[in-house]
Amino acid sequence: MTDSSQALMDLLNRSQRTMEVSFKFMSLPDAASKIRYSLQLFYENNLLPPASDIFHPKSDSASLNARNEGNQHFKAGNYVAALENYNRSLCLATTDSDHLSIGFANRSAVYLNAGFFKFCLANIELARKFNYPEKLRAKLENREKECLKLMEINEDGAEKIKKENVSLSYETSKEVPVMIEGLECAKSEQFGRFLRTQRDLKPGDVIIIEKPFLKLVGASAEYNRCANCLETAFLNLLPCLSCTRAMFCSENCRQIAFDRFHKYECPIIDGIFTFNKSIVTGIRATLYAFTMFPDIEDLKKLIDDIDTSQESAFTVDYSQISEKNQFRAIYAFATNESSRTFRDLMRMTNDCAIAWYFLSNYTDLKCILKDTEAENFFLNVLFHFVQAASVNTHALGFSNIGPAVFGGGLFALCSLINHSCAPNVVRIADGTTNVVVVRRFIRKGEQLFDSYGPPFCLLDAKQRQAKLKIHYNFDCSCEACVKGYPLLRNMKTTREIQQKFVAEQKKIKSFDKEFARKKFEEYREFLMKNHEKYPSFEVCVSEDNLVTCFCVLTIDTPLEFVLKPIN
């Protein structure tokens, strides 16, 4: 929730207007009228954010400070931190100053020293394109000559990176080709729609490989991920020339982003970054929807045709897969509106009102929203997606190995996997693709469970329940909560076994792929033989290490392992 939204809630409490507002709010016929009512309250109480909070202009002094930080990291041999700061410097630099060209030149030095010669040359060309200072040109030309010489006798760093392709462990489903044959969608009063298996599944099995319908970069990764495709591109990113918080891996991605969402997000990007992930995802999903068709009437027809109680990844026509087909399953995500409290709905509505204030006053969105009817349609879709995103957005990040979450996405199939504090599968982000891997033996007929938060072995039941209630609005009744599974630190084991597992995990996390491959098979065999001992220290830690091995073998090698001095 934004500061403004919290301020309004606090003001209503102090003025004892909560009952009055609640009655009025709940009597309004749809989300659009509720959002407009909320916006009216913000105006009446002078609580809307100032323009200075919505968009921060480029600043050469801030660009210089970021570049100086980058220089310190470069001298220390910390090339990832150096490039992240140079990228921030590029985003902050005004386009008519030397700071943009110097930022590219500094990046070229990092890439030269790291052995990424093509990136070095590309950044030298960008430095020239943006009028690198004449007095420094000789230095740049000498770097270019050195780079060309080194290219003749060395393999380029980007070409050395080898990655194992991930594939499904069993035959592919003909109906839903992003999963194995034998998974099915079921429905119950307790769980709603869910996934279960009609075959036994073994630890380490890959059962789903799904790309997102929509993805967005997190607030901590705006300078190391493309705002459109979320690739790192080894941090060789291009800055948006208008705002200070978006970078792109190519001109093509920059154009796609501009057409679909960034031309509306760009003028309000600092305001957007104040929202929580469900609001940001809701804004992006709504912009995607409204830029999917040249005519809003076509979007209305599509939404009117969607049966939200029936549509899912299993109803998508994969023989002629299209964005519109995928949209049907995404729009059908559960919103949980009927179980939400007034305060929860009001908080969401407040943030939607602020988002609408940003979009309607500081962007060109009204060019496609020609009248009040179109605006109300936009607001209703926005509120729908914000609610759906709050319980269906999947974090993108490395499981078991750092760094932490770098973004989020909406996945039609993976959204059907329910929560358990004792999960039997895990989602691993291979780039922006969700790879679902089996953690422990799953019998035919059992439901698949992922964890939406910390598993039982790391956090006690009371704390887990509180977090799940706040973020997902449900009371967990999984096996760990019902049976009172113990924390890992309270499980019986020996000091020798603890030390063994810690040492193995440390070696795996050093990205020793041969060791990881060997241990992966050992953990699979151990977990199959000992699954009935779950939960025990050895089984729980073997599960965790199995996942870590899988990550090391399949995901992109973390940049700190590849962007480093070659000498």
Q: What is the pLDDT of residues 223-267, one digit of tens each?
A: 999 999 999 999 999 999 999 999 999 999 999 999 999 999 999
Tell me the pLDDT tens digit for each residue of 184-220.
999 998 888 899 999 999 999 999 999 999 999 988 8
Q: Chain-centre distance of CA 53, in angstroms?
A: 24
Based on C-alpha coordinates, what's the Rg of the chain?
Answer: 25
Percent of the chain with pLDDT over 90: 75
Tokens of 301: 């027809």
What is residue 99's predicted lDDT score, i.e. its pLDDT? Answer: 96
pLDDT for the residue 332:
93
Residue type, 559: L
Of 66-75, 121-130, 284-293, 556-565, give the lowest mean pLDDT range: 556-565
What pLDDT shows up at residue 311? Answer: 85
CA atoms within a 13 Å half-sphere pointing along the CA-CB vector of 463? 9
Q: What is the pLDDT of residue 56?
A: 96
Residue 297: alpha-carbon gap to chain centroid: 31
Mean pLDDT, rounded, for 410-421: 94
What's the Cα-to-Cα distance from 6 to each of 2, 37, 539, rounded to whole Å? 6, 16, 44
**Alpha helix stretches (DSSP H) within 93-225:** 98-114, 117-129, 137-153, 157-160
- Residue 142, CB-side half-sphere exposure with 13 Å CA sphere: 4
Q: What pTM, to 2 d.p., does this model score?
A: 0.93
**What is the per-residue pLDDT across 461-499, written as a single tens digit (0 to 9) for each?**
888 888 888 777 788 999 999 999 998 889 999 999 999
Quick one: pLDDT at residue 33?
Answer: 98
Does the pLDDT value for residue 403 go beyond 70?
no
**Taking 70 as the threshold, does the pLDDT of residue 400 lie above it?**
no
The percent helix, strand, coil of the chain (3-state, each to 5) is: 55, 10, 35
pLDDT at 378 over 70: yes
Residue 399: the pLDDT is: 58
Question: What Cα–Cα distance (Å) separates residue 487 from each residue in 7, 461, 504?
Answer: 38, 9, 21
Cα–Cα distance between 348 and 276 in angstroms, integer? 10
* Predicted pLDDT of residue 336: 86
pLDDT at 163 over 80: no
pLDDT in tens, 4-36: 888 888 888 887 788 888 889 999 999 999 999
Share of the chain above pLDDT 70, in %: 99
Q: How many CB atoms lie within 10 A of CB 233?
A: 18
- What are the tens digits of pLDDT across the range 347-360? 999 999 999 999 99
**Phi, psi values for residue 190, rounded to 5°:** -70, -45
pLDDT, one tens digit per residue, over 506-549 is 999 998 999 999 999 999 999 999 999 999 999 999 999 999 99
Per-residue pLDDT of 266-322, as tens digits, reads: 999 999 999 988 999 999 999 999 999 999 999 999 999 998 888 888 888 787 778
* Average pLDDT in the chain: 93
